[in-house]
């Protein structure tokens, strides 16, 4: 490995980020500087960029974004949240627990943390405030739960991880030592994310109960009513069926994640136009505009991050980093602590999708050297980066929750800190017990 190459690549990237350049510009310019140093033809950047967007699985990205935007416009998200709200009851922390469940439900159709926080927060933060909850706490539990949106499949970061990891093969010495590793596929990632997402939600619920009990926060003034739950479920039947159709089709092998995204779009159009009759042409156009903006933004980062990662891999940088980490310790549990700590720090300062595209080529070889299954590693990475949505200074969920609740970022950040610690504990459990993520994919035959 050329030491000057690493200095040029990361030095240029760090300098441009410090001066406030967009991450796409920082990645592209640092990659171009490295290629100039190596004497490569700059046209190689175009070739690598083109190959990065030529994969069939990438079609799932704009499709899931469009499906999520249409579901919100068609009223599916509102009905899912209504079902969760009826489950609050008069229990300690009931309404805030319903917020966690609502994020869990909505995450199964949106695949986005900020989208989950915005959709659920608009309804649940005012509801919690009316029930006597401090607005800062209401905003913090919503921001923390919104991170479930990228863990519960379908998940946009899982699509990006799958695309980033598909071209990275385990080294021969790792295969000889640990045996054959699983191949990376988006379907496996989607299936593997189910139980870790439920564990993360369970830890949030436990934390919420303890804190609400200490603060004296109760649930709804009305008793838990089976008839109300059934009534809300009846009114929201077609909304509840959306994640069932999407995930059921993937889990049973009826269609791939990319095909599932297309099915989700047509399902939402049918329900929104024919059954609920809330989806009109103006809303469809607005959903398409949202999809174009978000997908374009992601693809620009994908172009440059792919080049950045390719330069790292071709020049053996990940192998050097892997050897460096392994020279510190050979304990898998200590390695997991180092990896999770690094991802938590990165998640505080960098957007999740960009972090995945930059770090996968660097860190996946370390996982292979330690005998970590790539599907397991991907789930741990995405779970860890999900905490970045609720930690400053980036904290996208914090900004959204602050805007909805009119509470300062500082107050929400402090109240969200215990949830972030709880999430980190849950992630370490997922890391130490691979079967939490890998059992379901093996059971369904992936």
**148 has pLDDT over 70:** yes
Q: What is the mean pLDDT of residues 376-383?
A: 96
Q: What is the mean pLDDT of the chain?
A: 85
Q: What is the mean pLDDT of residues 5-9?
A: 84
At residue 51 the predicted structure's pLDDT band, cuts being 50, 70 and 90, is: low
At residue 149 the predicted structure's pLDDT band, cuts being 50, 70 and 90, is: confident
What is the predicted pLDDT for the residue at 232?
86
Q: What is the mean pLDDT of residues 386-395?
A: 85
> Domains of the chain: which residue ranges?
1-40, 52-444
What is the predicted pLDDT for the residue at 58?
72
User: What are the two backbone dihedrals, phi and then psi, of residue 133, each rounded to the nearest 5 degrees?
Assistant: -75, 145
Mind listing the pLDDT tens digit for each residue in 88-116? 777 888 889 989 988 888 777 777 778 78
Which has more confidence, 191 or 4? Answer: 191
Q: What is the mean pLDDT of residues 5-12?
A: 86
**205 has pLDDT over 80:** yes
What is the predicted pLDDT for the residue at 285?
93
Mind listing the pLDDT tens digit for each residue in 154-188? 888 998 899 888 878 888 888 888 888 888 888 89
Task: Give pTM, 2 decimals.
Answer: 0.85
Mind listing the pLDDT tens digit for each residue in 263-283? 889 999 999 999 999 889 999
What is the predicted pLDDT for the residue at 417?
93
Give the HSE-up count for residue 250: Cα atoms under 13 Å, Cβ half-sphere.
31
Burial (CB count within 10 angstroms: exposed 0-12, middle 13-18, buried 19+), residue 176: exposed
What is the predicted pLDDT for the residue at 192?
93
Distances (CA, A) of 43 to 39, 47, 294: 12, 7, 27
Listed residue (350, 424, 342) closest to 383, CA to CA: 424
Q: What is the mean pLDDT of residues 70-93?
A: 80
At residue 203 the predicted structure's pLDDT band, cuts being 50, 70 and 90, is: very high
What is the predicted pLDDT for the residue at 54?
64
**1 has pLDDT over 60:** no
User: What's the CA gap between 250 and 165, in Å, rounded?
Assistant: 20
Q: What is the mean pLDDT of residues 193-208?
A: 94
Residues contacting residue 173 through CB under 8 Å, at least 6 positions apart: none
What is the predicted pLDDT for the residue at 156?
86
Which has more confidence, 271 or 290? Answer: 271
CB contact at 8 A, 369 and 174: yes
What is the predicted pLDDT for the residue at 52?
62
Q: What is the mean pLDDT of residues 311-338?
A: 80
Mind listing the pLDDT tens digit for each residue in 328-343? 777 889 999 999 998 9
At residue 80 the predicted structure's pLDDT band, cuts being 50, 70 and 90, is: confident
Angle CA 384–386–388, to nearest 5: 90
What is the predicted pLDDT for the residue at 381?
96
At residue 221 the predicted structure's pLDDT band, cuts being 50, 70 and 90, is: low
HEC string of the chain equals CCHHHHHHHHHHHHHHHHCCCCHHHHHHHHHHHHHHHHCCCCHHHHHHHHHHCCCHHHHHHHHHHHHHHHHHHCCHHHHHHHHHHHCCCCCCCHHHHHHHHHHHHHHHHHCCHHHHHHHHHHHHHHHHHHCCCCHHHHHHHHHHHHHHHHCCCCCHHHHHHHHHHCCCCCCHHHHHHHCCCCCCCHHHHHHHCHHHHHHHHHHHHHHHHHHHHHHCCCCCCCCCCHHHHHHHHHHCHHHHHHHHHHHHHHHCCCCCHHHHHHHHHHHHHHHHHHHCCCCCHHHHHHHHHHHHHHHHHHHHHHHHHHHHHHHHHHCCHHHHHHHHHHHHCCCHHHHHHHHHHHHHHHHHHCCHHHHHHHHHHHHHHHHHHCCCCHHHHHHHHHHHHHHHHHCCCCCHHHHHHHHHHCCCHHHHHHHHHHHHHHHHHHHHHHHHCCHHHHHHHHHCCC
Handedness of CA 160, 342, 10, 170 (dihedral sign): negative
At residue 393 the predicted structure's pLDDT band, cuts being 50, 70 and 90, is: confident
């Amino acid at each position: 490995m050329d030491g000057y190459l690493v200095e040029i690549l990361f030095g240029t990237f760090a300098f441009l980020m410090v001066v406030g350049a967009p991450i796409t510009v920082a990645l592209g310019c640092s990659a171009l500087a490295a290629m100039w140093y190596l004497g490569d033809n700059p046209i190689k950047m175009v070739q690598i960029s083109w190959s990065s967007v030529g994969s069939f699985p990438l079609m799932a990205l704009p499709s899931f974004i469009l499906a999520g935007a249409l579901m919100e416009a068609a009223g599916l998200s509102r009905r899912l949240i209504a079902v969760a709200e009826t489950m609050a009851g008069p229990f300690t922390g009931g309404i805030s627990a319903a917020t966690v469940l609502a994020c869990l439900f909505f995450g199964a159709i949106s695949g986005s943390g900020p989208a989950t926080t915005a959709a659920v927060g608009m309804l649940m933060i005012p509801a919690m405030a009316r029930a006597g909850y401090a607005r800062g706490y209401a905003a913090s539990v919503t921001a923390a739960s919104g991170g479930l949106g990228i863990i519960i499949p379908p998940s946009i970061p899982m699509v990006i991880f799958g695309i980033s990891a598909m071209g990275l093969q385990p080294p021969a010495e790792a295969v000889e030592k640990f045996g054959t590793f699983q191949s990376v596929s988006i379907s496996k990632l989607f299936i593997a994310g189910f139980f870790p997402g439920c564990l993360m939600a369970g830890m949030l619920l436990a934390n919420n109960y303890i804190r609400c009990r200490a603060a004296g926060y109760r649930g709804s003034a009305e008793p838990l009513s089976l008839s109300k739950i059934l009534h809300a479920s009846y009114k929201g039947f077609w909304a509840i069926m959306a994640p069932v159709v999407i995930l059921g089709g993937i889990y049973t092998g009826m269609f791939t994640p990319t095909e599932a995204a297309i099915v989700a779009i047509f399902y939402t159009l049918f329900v929104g136009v024919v059954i609920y009759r809330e989806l009109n042409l103006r809303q469809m156009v607005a959903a398409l505009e949202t999809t174009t903006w978000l997908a374009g933004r992601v693809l620009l980062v994908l172009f440059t991050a792919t080049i950045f990662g390719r330069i790292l891999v071709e020049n053996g940088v990940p192998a050097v980093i892997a050897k460096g980490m392994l020279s510190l310790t050979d304990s898998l549990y200590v390695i997991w602590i180092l990896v999770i700590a690094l991802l938590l720090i990165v998640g505080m300062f960098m957007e999740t999708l960009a972090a995945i595209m930059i770090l996968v080529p660097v860190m996946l070889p370390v996982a292979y050297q330690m005998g970590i299954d790539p599907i397991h590693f991907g789930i741990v990475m995405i779970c860890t980066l999900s905490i970045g949505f609720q930690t400053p200074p980036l904290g996208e969920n914090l900004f959204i929750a602050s805007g909805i609740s009119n509470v300062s970022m500082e107050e929400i950040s402090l109240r969200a800190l215990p949830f972030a610690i709880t999430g980190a504990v849950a992630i370490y459990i997922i890391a130490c017990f691979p079967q939490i993520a890998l059992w379901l994919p093996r059971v369904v035959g992936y």
